[in-house]
């Protein structure tokens, strides 16, 4: 009797469990609950924080009614489990036959959709590029996060600047100083007081904060909208030869970056958003914005840009729902500013820039799923019609 | 056969390992910079050598960041309505029944032209001739954010920035002083009658401006915790409570037979500029020199709300903030420093009549009791 033997095999039982409809139903139900709870949480905690906590996590604790802690699996873990469940149940276990390819194709499409989500999460980058008319850029910067860039003021374009990632700054404990060094630098950097949301304020009282040239770094409560937070830190530049120390404050909204002259060379220290370079240049030739009559609501805003790559130039119009797609990068017309601009003021255009290797995978997945379902339903229809035809007595 | 184990290699390794571990600093405290990024040809030019004032002085307030609220706190006089703040007006109020008057606080990096130039600019706005630096040095001072600031009260026809027609019969209260490399201003302008009524509120507002605690939540502290129903006292027999329009006063009394002798209690958040600064302000209001340190230390202490509090009596010709004068006046005042607040008990009147009430004044101050200090 082979059947009981197979059931006693623990691997078979594990496989059967992973491939079961029950597991699929539980995972889908939990994803539904997470989506609901995460959507509600966004009201108080902002999009970024909720995405990190509910959708990019393995586990989380949700406080029902603000007081009752309930541990839940994160959406990341659930989608990995769903992928395994589909592979086991819908691909490996399901009967494979050229006579019934529909469901196999449809499930393959769902797997492609999940895989696309994973590739997007792990490998896509997104940010924005802001240009005034006449300005050019080949970089876009992240909406969140900070890096400390150390560069010679006279560094020519194309050479390298040293960069300290935020992960090396964010875990500096209060009261702790971290030293950063490089053989390429004639100094070391001592960073302290790193805050995720700060402002630089004039030192007007006598409270016991560190002050640099009459200013100090004030720590502010963290804004739920991650993009609104402005990091800051104290920096001390220690010259390697003489040990001479230069103190400053790093703050992204400064009018000019902190600079120090060492041995006749000016060094700049910029706390800024992470940036990525695109292999071409975008020049904003003209920005057009029209408002609905009598309102401040924009009716249309579009950007006439020139894409320059080597010696070739191409005039392109970017507007809402008509992005520029080139070399894996997509430029969407996102916004414009300044919002308080008066007629005649110089405006800038903001492009949301995305590089996503799986950019079109959801489209492909939907086509595959649609095709699979069409095949399946057509087969079912044909089967039904054939049976009806056979059942009907011959006249 | 005895085997002698050779521990030398192990010992050397152990010593080397220890040396390496000791020689290397904690990686948490020392890290190498390994990442690089290509410098863009479109990078904005960097200006080397910018000072901190140039870097941070007039940085635009980012949207959603309550900048002023986060680094200053103050007490808003009742009836003053908050107006939108800006980089030039960190705190901004409209005052008066229809908001005819305005009061705002400005802090600028550096000297901002200096005290004399700004005082004479204000005088020019009121159609007054400039005065010399020596005359400016004689002007009264008030405490602003813990520093002495020059106070001016000017009357005339006011021409503000952008005004084409002067506003008639205006008054300007101005307070200007240097503070740790910044120039700080409090300016109030409006019809003279309104500013006459608001003189005391202006003084109290200026005294209430204080640096916020470095990690506060950015909330403005608008009212004093103390309320008259929370503060108890024993009223001297010959005193009677009177209504006073100023909402900054917790209680006002007519003291004794002479109706011109009045006593009142106020409370401010923070240190209100400090005990010595307030006592010296009172001295100057009566034309007296500020107290030296030893004189201040020698002041009699009375116990108010459990705190030993300096009592000062000053006589002279009184000139109030609103320009009101009283010849031959006597002022008695007590400054009681509480946790996060300062309580003032002040009595002023004609010398003879006020002097007769000194004992009652002390008894009144010492009778103050807190019923519910914090809800």
List of chain A residues whose C-beta atoms are within 8 Å of the C-beta of residue B276: none
- CA–CA gap between residue B223 and residue B267 (Å, rounded): 10
Residue of B54, B55, B147 to mutate, interface with A, max A Cβ within 10 Å: B55
List of chain A residues whose C-beta atoms are within 8 Å of the C-beta of residue B184: 204
Beta-carbon contacts of residue A308 (< 8 Å; ≥ 6 apart)? A136, A280, A281, A282, A283
- Taking the Cβ of residue A229 and every Cβ of chain B, the question of whether any pair is shorter than 8 Å is answered with no
What pLDDT score was predicted for residue A149? 95
The average confidence (pLDDT) of chain A is 88
- CA–CA gap between residue B90 and residue B187 (Å, rounded): 12
pLDDT tops 90 at residue B84: no
A52-56, A148-152, B25-29: lowest mean pLDDT where? B25-29
- The predicted model gives A343-362 an average pLDDT of 87
Question: pLDDT confidence of B218, banded at 50, 70, 90?
Answer: very low
What pLDDT score was predicted for residue A224? 79
Q: Do A199 and B64 touch (CB under 8 A)?
A: no
What pLDDT score was predicted for residue A368? 96
- The predicted model gives B53-63 an average pLDDT of 59
% residues pLDDT > 70 (chain B)? 77
pLDDT tops 90 at residue B343: no
- CA–CA gap between residue A355 and residue A364 (Å, rounded): 17
Residue of B27, B28, B31 to mutate, interface with A, max A Cβ within 10 Å: B31
A139-143, A145-149, A204-208, A350-354: lowest mean pLDDT where? A204-208
Which residue on chain B is closest to A134 by alpha carbon? B42
- Taking the Cβ of residue A40 and every Cβ of chain B, the question of whether any pair is shorter than 8 Å is answered with no
A22-31, A102-111, B294-303: lowest mean pLDDT where? B294-303
- The predicted model gives A132-147 an average pLDDT of 92
- Taking the Cβ of residue B19 and every Cβ of chain A, the question of whether any pair is shorter than 8 Å is answered with no
Question: pLDDT confidence of B20, banded at 50, 70, 90?
Answer: low
Question: pLDDT confidence of A268, banded at 50, 70, 90?
Answer: very high
What pLDDT score was predicted for residue B223? 32
% residues pLDDT > 90 (chain B)? 13
- Taking the Cβ of residue A200 and every Cβ of chain B, the question of whether any pair is shorter than 8 Å is answered with yes
The average confidence (pLDDT) of chain B is 78
DSSP-assigned letters across all residues of A118-143: HHHHHH-EEEEEEEETT-EEEEEEES
Which residue on chain B is closest to A165 by alpha carbon? B35
By the 10 Å C-beta count (0-12 exposed, 13-18 middle, 19+ buried), A299 is classed as exposed
% residues pLDDT > 90 (chain A)? 58
What pLDDT score was predicted for residue B290? 82
Closest by Cβ to A214, choosing from B38, B59, B180: B180
- Taking the Cβ of residue A146 and every Cβ of chain B, the question of whether any pair is shorter than 8 Å is answered with no
- Taking the Cβ of residue B20 and every Cβ of chain A, the question of whether any pair is shorter than 8 Å is answered with no
What pLDDT score was predicted for residue A145? 92
CA distance A333 to chain B (A): 21
Q: Which B residues in the span 79-138 are in contact with A, Cβ-Cβ below 8 Å? A: 107, 109
| Strands A177-181, B30-32: pairing kind | parallel
Q: What are the tens digits of pLDDT across the range B138-188?
A: 888 888 887 788 899 999 998 876 666 788 899 999 999 887 777 889 999
CA distance B87 to chain A (A): 12
- Inter-axis angle of helices A21-45 and A75-86, to 10 degrees? 160
Which residue on chain B is closest to A153 by alpha carbon? B46
- Taking the Cβ of residue B49 and every Cβ of chain A, the question of whether any pair is shorter than 8 Å is answered with yes
What pLDDT score was predicted for residue A129? 94
pLDDT tops 60 at residue A311: yes
Q: Which B residues in the span 211-230 are in contact with A, Cβ-Cβ below 8 Å? A: 211, 213-215, 217-218
Question: pLDDT confidence of A306, banded at 50, 70, 90?
Answer: very high
What pLDDT score was predicted for residue B27? 55
B305 - beta bridge partners? none
- Taking the Cβ of residue B52 and every Cβ of chain A, the question of whether any pair is shorter than 8 Å is answered with yes
What pLDDT score was predicted for residue B65? 39
- Longest CA span, chain A: 109
Q: Which A residues in the span 230-249 are in contact with B, Cβ-Cβ below 8 Å? A: 230, 248-249
CA distance B109 to chain A (A): 8
| Strands B35-38, A187-195: pairing kind | unpaired
Q: What are the tens digits of pLDDT across the range A36-75?
A: 999 998 888 878 888 889 999 999 999 988 888 999 999 9
- The predicted model gives B329-337 an average pLDDT of 90
Cβ atoms of residues B261 and B244 within 8 Å: no
In which element (H, E) is residue B337 found? strand B325-338
- CA–CA gap between residue A77 and residue A71 (Å, rounded): 13
Beta-carbon contacts of residue A236 (< 8 Å; ≥ 6 apart)? A177, A189, A190, A192, A245, A246, A247, A248
Cβ atoms of residues B271 and B265 within 8 Å: no
Cβ atoms of residues B118 and B125 within 8 Å: no
Question: For chain A, where are the E strands, in sequence order?
Answer: 59-64, 68-73, 125-132, 136-142, 147-152, 160-165, 177-181, 187-195, 198-202, 215-219, 232-239, 245-250, 258-262, 265-272, 275-291, 298-309, 312-319, 324-326, 329-337, 348-355
- The predicted model gives A187-211 an average pLDDT of 79
CA distance B128 to chain A (A): 32
Select from B39, B42, B173 the least CA-distant residue to B104.
B173
Q: What are the tens digits of pLDDT across the range B349-368?
A: 998 889 888 888 998 998 88
Which residue on chain B is closest to A177 by alpha carbon? B29
Cβ neighbour number for residue B106 with a 10 Å cutoff: 18
Place of tokens 């320009």: B323
Closest by Cβ to A161, choosing from B25, B39, B51: B39
pLDDT tops 50 at residue B227: no
pLDDT tops 60 at residue B11: no
What pLDDT score was predicted for residue A285? 93
- The predicted model gives A241-265 an average pLDDT of 91
The length of chain B in residues reads 375
Q: Which B residues in the span 249-308 are in contact with A, Cβ-Cβ below 8 Å? A: none
What pLDDT score was predicted for residue A187? 95
- Taking the Cβ of residue B26 and every Cβ of chain A, the question of whether any pair is shorter than 8 Å is answered with no
- The predicted model gives B331-355 an average pLDDT of 87
- The predicted model gives A200-208 an average pLDDT of 66
Cβ atoms of residues B75 and B268 within 8 Å: yes
Beta-carbon contacts of residue B122 (< 8 Å; ≥ 6 apart)? B152, B154, B172, B174, B187
Most trustworthy range by pLDDT among A73-87, B128-142, B189-203:
A73-87
Q: Do B37 and A249 touch (CB under 8 A)?
A: no
What pLDDT score was predicted for residue B215? 45
CA neighbours closer than 13 Å in the CB half-sphere of residue A70 = 12
- CA–CA gap between residue B74 and residue A204 (Å, rounded): 14
B103-112, B267-276, B346-355: lowest mean pLDDT where? B267-276
pLDDT tops 90 at residue A216: no
B303 - beta bridge partners? B308
- The predicted model gives B253-262 an average pLDDT of 87
Helix runs in chain B, H state only: 8-23, 52-56, 67-71, 115-125, 133-137, 192-208, 275-285, 293-297, 351-355, 358-367
Geometric angle at alpha carbon A378, from A372 and A379, rounded to 5°: 90
The interface predicted TM-score of the complex, written ipTM, equals 0.75
Q: Do A137 and B211 touch (CB under 8 A)?
A: no
Q: What are the tens digits of pLDDT across the range A313-332?
A: 999 999 988 999 999 899 99
Q: In Å, how far from its chain's centre is CA A291? A: 31
Q: Tell me the C-alpha to C-alpha distance, in Å, between residue B219 and each of B59, B70, B71, B212, B332.
A: 21, 7, 10, 9, 35
Cβ neighbour number for residue B107 with a 10 Å cutoff: 23
- CA–CA gap between residue A347 and residue B318 (Å, rounded): 58
pLDDT tops 80 at residue B3: no
Question: pLDDT confidence of A167, banded at 50, 70, 90?
Answer: very high
Cβ atoms of residues B309 and B301 within 8 Å: yes
Residue of B26, B27, B65 to mutate, interface with A, max A Cβ within 10 Å: B65
Cβ atoms of residues B360 and B332 within 8 Å: no
Most trustworthy range by pLDDT among A113-117, A255-259, B114-118, B174-178:
A113-117
List of chain B residues whose C-beta atoms are within 8 Å of the C-beta of residue A158: 38-39, 41
Question: pLDDT confidence of B19, banded at 50, 70, 90?
Answer: low
pLDDT tops 60 at residue A172: yes
- CA–CA gap between residue A318 and residue B224 (Å, rounded): 56
């Amino acid at each position: 009797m082979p059947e009981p033997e197979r059931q006693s095999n623990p691997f078979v039982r594990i496989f059967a469990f992973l491939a079961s409809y029950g597991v699929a139903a539980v995972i889908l139900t939990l994803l539904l609950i997470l989506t609901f709870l995460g959507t509600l949480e966004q009201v108080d905690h902002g999009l970024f924080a909720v995405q990190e906590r509910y959708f990019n996590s393995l586990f989380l604790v949700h406080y029902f009614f603000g007081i009752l802690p309930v541990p839940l699996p994160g959406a990341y873990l659930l989608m990995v489990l769903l992928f395994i469940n589909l592979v086991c149940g819908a691909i490996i276990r399901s009967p494979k036959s050229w006579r019934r390819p529909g469901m196999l194709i449809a499930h393959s499409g769902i797997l492609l959709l999940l895989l696309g989500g994973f590739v997007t999460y792990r490998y896509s980058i997104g940010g924005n590029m802001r240009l005034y008319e006449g300005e050019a850029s080949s970089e876009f910067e992240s909406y969140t996060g900070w890096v400390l860039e150390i560069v010679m003021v006279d560094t020519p374009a194309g050479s390298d600047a040293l960069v300290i990632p935020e992960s090396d700054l964010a875990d500096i404990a209060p009261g702790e100083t971290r030293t950063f060094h490089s053989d390429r630098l004639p100094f070391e950097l001592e960073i302290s007081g790193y805050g995720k949301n700060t402002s630089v304020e004039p030192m007007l009282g006598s409270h016991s904060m560190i002050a640099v040239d009459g200013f100090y770094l004030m720590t502010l409560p963290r804004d739920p909208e991650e993009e609104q937070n402005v990091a800051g830190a104290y920096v001390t530049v220690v010259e390697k030869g003489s040990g001479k120390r230069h103190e400053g404050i790093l703050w992204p909204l400064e009018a000019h970056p902190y600079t120090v002259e060492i041995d006749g060379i000016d060094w700049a220290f910029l706390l800024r958003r992470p940036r990525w370079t695109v292999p071409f240049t975008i020049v904003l030739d003209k920005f057009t914005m029209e408002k609905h009559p009598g309102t401040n609501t924009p009716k249309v805003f579009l950007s006439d840009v020139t894409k320059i790559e080597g010696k070739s130039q191409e005039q392109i119009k970017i507007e809402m729902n008509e992005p520029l797609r080139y070399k894996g990068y997509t430029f969407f017309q996102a916004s414009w500013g300044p919002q308080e601009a008066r007629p005649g003021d110089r405006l800038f255009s903001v492009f949301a820039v995305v590089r996503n290797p799986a950019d079109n995978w959801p489209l492909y997945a939907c086509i595959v799923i649609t095709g699979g379902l069409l095949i399946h339903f057509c087969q079912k229809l044909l089967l039904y019609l054939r049976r009806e035809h056979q059942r009907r007595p011959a006249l | 056969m005895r085997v002698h184990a050779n521990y030398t290699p192990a010992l050397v390794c152990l010593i080397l390992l220890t040396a390496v571990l000791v020689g290397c600093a904690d990686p948490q405290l020392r890290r190498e910079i390994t990442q690089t990024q290509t410098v863009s040809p479109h990078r904005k030019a960097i200006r080397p050598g910018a000072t901190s004032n140039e870097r941070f002085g007039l940085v635009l307030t980012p949207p959603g960041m309550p900048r002023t609220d986060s680094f200053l706190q103050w007490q808003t006089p009742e009836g003053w309505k908050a107006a939108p703040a800006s980089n030039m007006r960190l705190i901004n109020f409209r005052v008066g029944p229809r908001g005819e008057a305005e009061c705002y606080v400005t802090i600028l990096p550096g000297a901002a032209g200096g005290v004399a130039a700004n005082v004479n600019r204000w005088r020019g706005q009121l159609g007054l001739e400039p005065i010399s630096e020596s005359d400016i040095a004689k002007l009264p001072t008030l405490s602003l954010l813990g520093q002495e600031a020059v106070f001016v009260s000017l009357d005339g026809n006011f021409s503000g920035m952008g005004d084409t027609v002067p506003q008639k019969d205006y008054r300007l209260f101005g307070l200007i002083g240097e503070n740790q490399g910044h120039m700080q201003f409090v300016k109030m302008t409006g019809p003279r009658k309104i500013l006459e009524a608001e003189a005391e509120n202006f003084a109290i507002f200026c005294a209430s401006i204080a640096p916020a605690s470095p990690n506060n939540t950015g909330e403005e502290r608008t009212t004093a915790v103390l309320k008259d129903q929370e503060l108890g006292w024993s009223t001297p027999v010959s005193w009677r409570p009177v209504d006073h329009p100023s909402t900054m006063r917790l209680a006002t009394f007519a003291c004794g037979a002479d109706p011109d002798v009045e006593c009142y209690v106020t409370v401010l958040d923070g240190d209100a500029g400090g005990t010595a600064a307030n006592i010296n302000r009172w001295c100057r209001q009566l034309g007296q020199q500020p107290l030296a340190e030893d004189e201040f230390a020698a002041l009699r202490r009375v116990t108010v709300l459990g705190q030993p509090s300096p009592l000062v009596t000053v006589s002279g010709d009184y000139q109030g903030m609103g320009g009101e004068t009283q010849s031959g006046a006597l002022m008695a005042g007590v400054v009681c420093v509480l946790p996060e607040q300062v309580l003032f008990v002040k009595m002023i009147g004609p010398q003879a009549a006020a002097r007769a009430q000194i004992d009652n004044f002390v008894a009144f101050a010492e009778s103050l009791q807190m019923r519910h200090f914090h809800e």
